[in-house]
Amino acid sequence: MKIAVLAAGAWGTALALAFAARHPVTLWAREADLVEEMQARRENLRFLPGFPFPDALEITSDLQAAVQQAGLILVATPIAGLRPTVRALAAQGVRLPLLWVCKGFEAGSGKLPHQVVQEEMPGVPCGVLSGPSFAQEVAGGQPTAITLAARDADFARAMAQELHGGHLRIYASDDLVGAEVGGAVKNILAIATGVCDGLQLGLNARAALVTRGLAEIARLGVALGARKETFMGLAGVGDLILTCTGDLSRNRRVGLGLAAGKSLEQVLADLGHVAEGVPTALEVDRLAARLGVDMPITAAVAAVLQGRVAVRDVVEQLLARDPRDESC
């Protein structure tokens, strides 16, 4: 099966490398200069240096050529790029099965990725790849397990079977909303954990933050129609633990930078990559308020990102909350 990977950031490049071992793959990027550089150097020096491309991996800036004869499209843009990419595909009359790997809620609309795809390409078989995975480790062939979730269980199983192999294990799920919510909200909690570690609050505090953060993910997910047990799997607690504790986590590094006294603008400039947890925190905070879902950690992160509360003050506010049952 030919796979078209759309967007050549770190994650798109890593997946293109992983799947190219078993499938013909075309990696597409919008930026002509990036494509020319990758074609010449056979490596993505800008976003994922150190991982040479196999000879069979094709690279192009021509969207139509990228999807020609493909059996599957994998959109690897950030959430902000999902709608324009899918809209461009629809404008070309493309009706191929589609997966995405972005994690978040669309800024402005507050919609999950599957809702965006449904609006732009209704009826197309689609789903999400999500779970505990850093691009560098996937590109390096280190063992990784992720979830492929779709509302159509047969489609999820068929695609998981097709893509599963090598050091990449893929598990099928029909809880699309659960997988998307888990992948989105864990980035917010990674910012909070980075703040916690940056302030040297200790391992006890980190464990408490991650655990209570998982409760927030589950509350929001269930309110949106997800199954609670999904959050005990790869797309839930697995992704949460990795992103909150791994030094390769961009969102965790945002929290570390804020704890060090840097401005958000400076932190993001130093990062050089998209940190999905920043816009997602603001969208989820608004969504939780609208749904009446209690998400105090998310609210605290949103307040810090908006400059409404200082980092140390927000920690004191969380510690001052009234006691409650753990089931709440």
Question: Which residue numbers are catalytic?
Answer: 186
Counting Cβ atoms within 10 Å, is residue 80 exposed (0-12), middle (13-18) or buried (19+)?
middle
Closest CA relative to residue 111, chosen from 276, 287, 303, 293: 287
Q: Integer distance in angstroms from the first to the last C-alpha of the chain?
A: 46
* Six-digit token string for 3: 């796979």
Cα 10 from chain centre = 12
Q: Helices 296-305 and 311-319 meet at what angle, rounded to 10? A: 160
Cβ(314)–Cβ(285) below 8 Å: no
Sheet holding 168-173, edge to edge: 58-60, 25-28, 3-6, 72-75, 98-100, 126-130, 144-149, 168-173
Is the separation of the CB atoms in 242 and 180 below 8 Å?
Answer: no
Distance CA 93, CA 129 (A): 24
> Residue 256 gets which letter from DSSP?
H
Q: SS3 letters for 63-128?
A: HHHHHCCCCEEEECCCHHHHHHHHHHHHHCCCCCCEEECCCCCCCCCCCCHHHHHHHHCCCCCEEE
Query: What letter represents residue 145's amino acid?
Result: A
